[in-house]
Amino acid sequence: MGQEIERKFLVAGDGWRPREPGLVYRQGYLPTQAPATVRVRLAGAKAYLTLKGPTIGLTRAEFEYEIPWTDAEAMLQQFCTAPLIEKTRYRIPVADHVWEVDEFAGDNEGLVLAEIELSHEAEPFTPPPWLGPEVSHDPRYRNSYLARHPYRTWAH
């Protein structure tokens, strides 16, 4: 069984910005009654269908499958609820880990999140200086939530 162990943080300032361009993502979520999320994602020139189970601690089941681009485009248009998540992902090496920084666009513009995937929940890591508060346990910062409640609509 696939699993994801992830910690998520807000980003403080612009000190994280790399020189290399990021990868543009567009993704949506299929409505489901199951205690899981079903995501369709376009990431650069590739497309994926991902199923994620409920989070327990920092861990959840995750199954991801590459699918044809044209199928993903059709699913995003026909089955996913609006608005879609639009973001650019940057991969930034820090010490022994690679951070993924997502700079959101569209209805979630203004939000910048950093994620680190770990091999176990207690794995130590070096926090970069641009790391802000941790939001791992705040469901509002999950992409599936942001698709239904865009960041621009939040009271800041």
Whats the size of the chain, residue-wise? Answer: 156
**Residues 97/126, Cβ–Cβ less than 8 Å:** yes
In a 3-state reduction of DSSP, which class is residue 82? coil
Q: Please state which architecture CATH assigns to domain 3-153.
A: Beta Barrel (2.40)
Query: Residue 48 has what pLDDT?
Result: 98
Q: If residue 78 lies in a helix (H) or strand (E), which one and from where to where?
A: helix 69-78
User: Rounded distance, CA 46 to CA 1, Å?
Assistant: 23
Active-site annotation, residues: 29
Chain center to CA of 43:
11
**Residues 24/137, Cβ–Cβ less than 8 Å:** no
C-alpha separations of 5 from 109, 110, 143 in Å: 26, 26, 16
Query: Residue 155 has what pLDDT?
Result: 83
The tens-digit pLDDT sequence of the chain (156 residues) is 589 899 999 999 899 999 899 999 999 999 988 889 999 999 999 999 999 999 899 999 999 999 999 999 999 999 998 899 999 999 999 999 999 999 999 999 999 999 999 999 999 999 999 999 999 999 999 999 999 999 999 986
